[in-house]
Amino acid sequence: MAKETVYIVQAYKAGRGKGLKAEQQVGCKDAEEARRKAERLAPIREGVVAFGASAGVGLGDYDGNPVI
């Protein structure tokens, strides 16, 4: 079964009180692009995380989400 990996950058801005509000996720073509985008966003957002998720294409069975 073929596995496919998606790379995503998730940024957060200040929410109410001490909370965070998630912004729109950004898809990336590879781990390096996700890392660069996260590093660019880090100084101007409250929080940023880049991660990849692998899944069996036919089953949709995802592995854990390692942080990049």
Q: What is the pLDDT of residue 28?
A: 96
Q: What is the pLDDT of residue 64?
A: 67
Q: 23: how many CB neighbours lie within 10 A of its CB?
A: 15
Q: Residue 62 in contact with residue 8, Cβ under 8 Å?
A: no
DSSP states of 9-29: EEEEEE-STT-EEE---EEES
By C-alpha distance, which of 41, 35, 29 is closest to 66?
A: 35
Which residue in the block uniquely carries the two structure tokens 């590879």? 30
Q: What is the pLDDT of residue 43?
A: 97
Q: What is the pLDDT of residue 42?
A: 97
Domain range annotation of the chain: 3-56
Tens digits of per-residue pLDDT, 1-46?
A: 677 888 999 999 999 999 999 999 999 999 999 999 999 999 999 9
Q: What is the pLDDT of residue 61?
A: 65
